[in-house]
A and B are shown apart, each in its own frame.
Chain A
Amino acid sequence: MFKIIHAQFLAPGIKRFVIDAPRIARKQKPGQFVILRIYEEGERIPVTIENSDPERGTINIVVQSAGKTTNLLNSLNTGDSILDVVGPLGKPSEIANYGTVVVVGGGVGTAMAYPTAAALKRAGNRVLSIVGARSKELVILESEMRAVSDALMISTDDGSYADKGFVTDKLRQLIQNGTRIDLVVAVGPIVMMKAVSELTRQENIHTVVSLNPIMIDGTGMCGGCRVLIDGKSQFACVDGPEFDGHKVDFGVLVQRNSMYRECEQLSMEEFKRNQHTCVATFQEVQGAQR
């Protein structure tokens, strides 16, 4: 059982949880993730670690509502518990002094980009950050990102905040302005990471992306998270999650992530239909555990 010390919405449908997980808090490094299962019949899903506090023994995770599990998770509050949280998983980001690094965070991916940006800053890099979101209310961690960046650029798809456009527009501007860029780190939706990688490929700028395939165990045992890198199968949980963006077959990633779409829709429809009872029963169980 992992207790939720604090839960708070950062944006509509995006919630941050501070979780009591001393072992993970001690070991977490930027770029790593956890796998969690919220109740006995639940599935195991990988979730971004935004930050950790080794002294307090807590980790912060950020979750965006998408399917049944994330919706149920985001119905949890301070004082509730999550049945299983395991991690930190995956290889940490490679932190070094590269020179000038552009860190791109798209949507909830910003939560995973943030600790990497902070670590790159501490390592002496000039960090230029680009945060993108669909609209104003979905921009998260703006002040946190600003604090660890030499410059922060924001774009929204609909122009409801900062500049209208995509993160790639901002990146293209930087390149066109003649900014020397030694590394790009991009974390966000697959389409965004693909667009960033295509842009930087033309410019020959090394680009690291963080992949989010379907996973079960997270230790390399099941092979469900295999991704095609430079034509070869690799396991995102042990070989990644970060890979050279210019070598990733994004098409295969999108295709494999769609494998259970029918099941996911079914789960979600059922959840919506019974949302009230579902959450109520769940809360009752939580209450009994407390």
Chain B
Amino acid sequence: MSPATKSKNPVPMKERMKVPRQLMPEQAAEERAHNFEEVNLGYSAELAQREAQRCLECAKPTCTENCPVGVKVKEFVELIVAGDFLAAAAKVREDCVLPAITGRVCPQEDQCEGKCLLSKKVKPLGIGYLERFVADYEQKMGTHVVPKVAPTGKKVAVVGSGPSGLTVAGDLIQKGHKVRVFEALHEIGGVLVYGIPEFRLPKQIVREQIDYMHEMGVEFETDVVVGRTVTIDELMEEEGYDAVYIGTGAGLPQFMNIPGEHLNGVYSANEFLTRINLMKAYKFPVYDEPMLDLHGKNVAVIGGGNTALDAIRSALRLGAAKAYVLYRRSEAEMPARAEEVHHAQQEGIDFQMLTAPVEFLSDGKGWLTAARCVRMELGEPDSSGRRRPLPVAGSEFDLPLSVAIMAIGTTANPIVQTTTPGLGTNKRGYIVASEETQRTTRKGVFAGGDIVTGAATVILAMGAGRRAAKSIHEYLTTGEW
């Protein structure tokens, strides 16, 4: 923007800090705790414009610098101020292929909003809310433009249809490459469909984003477990793919290896959420996938991340009488998004901080009845830089439970690595890839997202996808490795 261009913002610069951050309309806590409808209802055009007017239009926008995919925040927010919502959506799409999704699930407080200049004095600009608004507006208008590009004749296989794979696909199709995405499950979207619940990310939104990618020419093939159904080598040598991107995601759920973890009623968060989100077990018996009846039961999740909160808030919606979060550190260390913690508290989730189970107790017939827990205190910082939780002697107590959900992280899924000779992995089994180019140790093979970093967030996976797409394009254009 040239210095001569005048801001269209009617609010004078010095007044902007005085405008309060516009609240996101949401379903009342007592109501939403019993349904799977979305919690946040979205800004109206008026709210969006009023919020957009708070932008300080920094000369050096740190929000964009701190966005893993580099969304041009200042520019799209200006377009909202100007009332051109479709142009604003198109501006977001230049850098983010899934704006309706990132607008909902990004941890904005750690990314764009965390570096917003406003946040030094008042609340940061609602960048996530604004992104969501323009993406939803565009969808409602049904007018997204499908860019036309000349085909390059190159073919790229994307393994996994989660956020990073979809980003790679979206970016490369716009460069004219032929892209085919392989998905192990029967639905496209990866964690967006099996992991994140309806009340936080409606599946209709995910489907719309995928339909759009379809319109752009991305091909999808479900029911393919790469490594088992077809190998990376077969894709390249026999099916003619010039490059492959591996974005297979977080992998195998971890357990604590404490007594009683095999009892009926103990789930991994992945299984619990997959039953609900992908298999729609909450609609049993209309859907065939079964689910334990949680009505009137005590349910606890073990862990403090977004997955833990997704699981326990789902349990509450399935009728749980008491829904606990057991986290071994304190609230300050919880990795979950601030908004989710806040929403969960409003809904009546009981947070038991500095608490960890040491054993699951049974009724003698194989069913869970309680978790034997211990209270913790924080000691010296550990390798993660967070203070290490240590058990408090003599603090054991039994918490009556029918269902316990383990949400303590994942380990690398070995299927692709063990079936792809020459693909380098680190000592934890994750794929080794350059942080800058996402290149692996195999020529033409790139990787990114959780299968490289271990479990992280949707936007970090998309960031890796973005870098990979750029470097795949370079490789396909120059042939240089």
Interface residues of A (CB under 8 A from B): 23-24, 27, 37, 41-44, 68-69, 83-89, 216-224, 226, 228, 232-233, 235, 238, 249, 252, 255-256, 258-260, 262-264, 266-267, 270
Structural contact, A221 and B252, CB atoms closer than 8 A: yes
Structural contact, A226 and B262, CB atoms closer than 8 A: yes
Structural contact, A255 and B264, CB atoms closer than 8 A: yes
Whether a CB of chain A sits under 8 angstroms from the CB of B209 is no
CA of A221 to CA of B291 in the docked complex: distance in angstroms?
18
CA of A224 to CA of B268 in the docked complex: distance in angstroms?
7
Structural contact, B279 and A256, CB atoms closer than 8 A: no
Residues in chain B near residue A219, CB distance under 8 A? 184, 225, 413, 415
Of B21-29, B40-48, B280-288, the one touching chain A? B280-288
Residues in chain B near residue A83, CB distance under 8 A? 186
For window 264-312 of B, CB contacts with A under 8 Å fall at 264, 267-268, 270-271, 274-275, 278-280, 284-293
Identify 8 new A-B residue pairs, CB closer than 8 A, beyond the known A86-B186, A217-B274: A23-B224, A42-B288, A88-B228, A222-B270, A228-B262, A232-B257, A258-B264, A270-B285
Q: How far is the CB of B197 from chain A (nearest CB, A)?
A: 15
Q: Which of B249, B268, B291, B365 contacts A223 (CB 8 A)?
A: B268
Asked, given contacts A43-B290, A85-B223, A263-B290, whether A222 binds B229 with beta carbons under 8 Å apart, the answer is: no
Residues in chain B near residue A256, CB distance under 8 A? 262, 264, 366
Pairs across A and B, CB under 8 Å, 15 listed: A41-B286, A43-B279, A43-B289, A44-B186, A44-B279, A89-B225, A216-B278, A219-B225, A223-B270, A233-B257, A233-B262, A249-B262, A255-B262, A256-B264, A263-B284
Q: How far is the CB of A160 from chain B (nearest CB, A)?
A: 34
Whether a CB of chain A sits under 8 angstroms from the CB of B230 is yes
Whether a CB of chain A sits under 8 angstroms from the CB of B414 is yes
CA of A45 to CA of B289 in the docked complex: distance in angstroms?
10
Structural contact, B252 and A223, CB atoms closer than 8 A: yes
Q: Which of B194, B229, B278 contacts A88 (CB 8 A)?
A: B229
Structural contact, B229 and A266, CB atoms closer than 8 A: no
Interface class of chain B by DSSP:
loop
In the complex, which of the residues A232, A249, A267 has the most CB atoms of chain B within 10 Å of its own CB atom?
A: A267
Q: Which of B251, B261, B413 contacts A233 (CB 8 A)?
A: B261
Q: How far is the CB of B236 from chain A (nearest CB, A)?
A: 16
Whether a CB of chain A sits under 8 angstroms from the CB of B185 is yes
CA of A68 to CA of B287 in the docked complex: distance in angstroms?
12
Whether a CB of chain A sits under 8 angstroms from the CB of B253 is yes
Whether a CB of chain A sits under 8 angstroms from the CB of B345 is no
Whether a CB of chain A sits under 8 angstroms from the CB of B255 is yes
Whether a CB of chain A sits under 8 angstroms from the CB of B222 is yes
Q: How far is the CB of A233 from chain B (nearest CB, A)?
A: 6
Return the chain B residue nearest A45 by Cβ.
B288
Residues in chain A near residue B225, CB distance under 8 A? 86-87, 89, 218-219
CA of A286 to CA of B228 in the docked complex: distance in angstroms?
29
Interface size on B, residues (CB 8 A): 45
Return the chain A residue nearest B283 by Cβ.
A41
The 6 A-B pairs with the shortest beta carbon distances in the complex, nearest first, are A263-B290, A255-B366, A223-B268, A260-B290, A222-B271, A43-B288
Q: How far is the CB of B229 from chain A (nearest CB, A)?
A: 5
CA of A232 to CA of B259 in the docked complex: distance in angstroms?
10
Residues in chain B near residue A217, CB distance under 8 A? 184-185, 194, 274
CA of A238 to CA of B248 in the docked complex: distance in angstroms?
15
In the complex, which of the residues A44, A83, A216 has the most CB atoms of chain B within 10 Å of its own CB atom?
A: A216
Structural contact, B251 and A37, CB atoms closer than 8 A: no
Structural contact, A238 and B252, CB atoms closer than 8 A: yes
Structural contact, A84 and B271, CB atoms closer than 8 A: no
Q: How far is the CB of A281 from chain B (nearest CB, A)?
A: 14
Residues in chain A near residue B415, CB distance under 8 A? 219-220, 238
CA of A88 to CA of B414 in the docked complex: distance in angstroms?
16
Asked, given contacts A27-B230, A220-B415, whether A252 binds B262 with beta carbons under 8 Å apart, the answer is: yes
CA of A262 to CA of B293 in the docked complex: distance in angstroms?
10
Return the chain A residue nearest B411 by Cβ.
A220
Residues in chain B near residue A88, CB distance under 8 A? 228-229
CA of A218 to CA of B225 in the docked complex: distance in angstroms?
9
CA of A86 to CA of B225 in the docked complex: distance in angstroms?
7
Residues in chain A near residue B224, CB distance under 8 A? 23, 86
Structural contact, B414 and A223, CB atoms closer than 8 A: no
Q: Which of A42, A86, A258, A260 contacts B184 (CB 8 A)?
A: A86
Residues in chain B near residue A258, CB distance under 8 A? 264, 366
Residues in chain A near residue B275, CB distance under 8 A? 216
Asked, given contacts A221-B270, A255-B264, whether A86 binds B223 with beta carbons under 8 Å apart, the answer is: yes
Residues in chain A near residue B261, CB distance under 8 A? 233
CA of A208 to CA of B270 in the docked complex: distance in angstroms?
29
CA of A87 to CA of B228 in the docked complex: distance in angstroms?
7
Return the chain A residue nearest B362 by Cβ.
A255
Structural contact, A221 and B413, CB atoms closer than 8 A: yes
Per-residue contact bits, chain B 236-261, to A (CB 8 Å; 1 contact, 0 not): 00000000000001111101010001
Structural contact, B251 and A221, CB atoms closer than 8 A: yes
CA of A87 to CA of B230 in the docked complex: distance in angstroms?
10
For window 434-472 of B, CB contacts with A under 8 Å fall at none
